[in-house]
Amino acid sequence: MRMVLPIEKGDQIMKIGLIGYGNIGRFLLQSINQNNLIKDGRITVISGRNPEHGQMIAEEYGAEYVQDVNQLIEKDVDIVIEAATVEVVKKHAAAILRSGKDFLVISVGALADRSFYEQLHMICEQSRVKLLLPSGAIGGLDILKAAKSIGQLETVSITTRKPPKALPGAPLEEETVLFSGCAEEAIQRFPQNINVSIILSLAGIGPAKTFVTIIADPKSEKNSHSIVASGSFGKLSLNVENDPMPNNPKTSYLAALSVISTLQNKDALIQVG
């Protein structure tokens, strides 16, 4: 049993609800509730489909467990983190935001649907809440947003290279291009592996215009992303090589760290970039 500090009456903390307690969810529970990486923040409620497992994890990290996301929405939390699936985001995002809670989304592939994205944007305006999208496993978003701000971003492409074990069904023996096309289609084909293309497209010229190449490479031991963008600002070329999270080759460790960074800077008085 891990020692978790209790919440004292009168404490002013950011109360966090967490949907999903897989690899990233467990990382967040340890980072926030045990290692105190979010100042005055605590995951107080978790939700997931397996009650026995969920109760055990909740007890371990000093949180409350509820099986249904709708129960979590009714709890006294300030922000909800999704660490589950695209389907969870599509099903519950609107209700979470309408309840007056900020919503941090990891499965950003759900926002490839333009009408869904616009619906959530409208709810945020009406309810005065935030939809937070961490940068995930890539960088360069600040440059894309700067160029986009005056309409001078022309092309954006990303080539993702992963070991075959991170791409179900990929050939194991030789390098293979599994996909080449727009981000909108990439997220439909590889919903668990290509969130980076969606966050890149949302920061830039959109899912329909962002070009994506996915390569299974048996010589690669890590996930890597090569981003190229051009416009009147010049040209951006960026290579990122990520270590996978322990016990989960599909998820970049940097993606998990970006969630912590987003929470740490959520209400920062001084923001860089």
- pLDDT, tens digit only, all 273 positions of the chain: 444 444 444 458 999 999 999 999 999 999 999 999 999 999 999 999 999 999 999 999 999 999 999 999 999 999 999 999 999 999 999 999 999 999 999 999 899 899 999 999 999 999 999 999 999 889 999 999 999 998 899 999 999 999 998 888 899 889 999 999 999 899 888 877 778 999 999 999 999 999 999 999 999 988 899 999 999 999 999 999 988 787 776 678 898 999 999 999 998 878 776
Active site residues: 225
Q: Hey, what domains does the chain have and what are their CATH numbers?
A: 14-133 (3.40.50.720), 141-250 (3.30.360.10)
Residue 13 CA to residue 167 CA, distance in Å, equals 39
φ and ψ at 6, to 5 degrees? -75, 160
Q: What is the dihedral of CA 76, 79, 82, 83, to 10 degrees?
A: -90
pTM, two decimals, is 0.90
Task: Quote the pLDDT of residue 37.
Answer: 96
- Tokens, residue 20: 């999903």
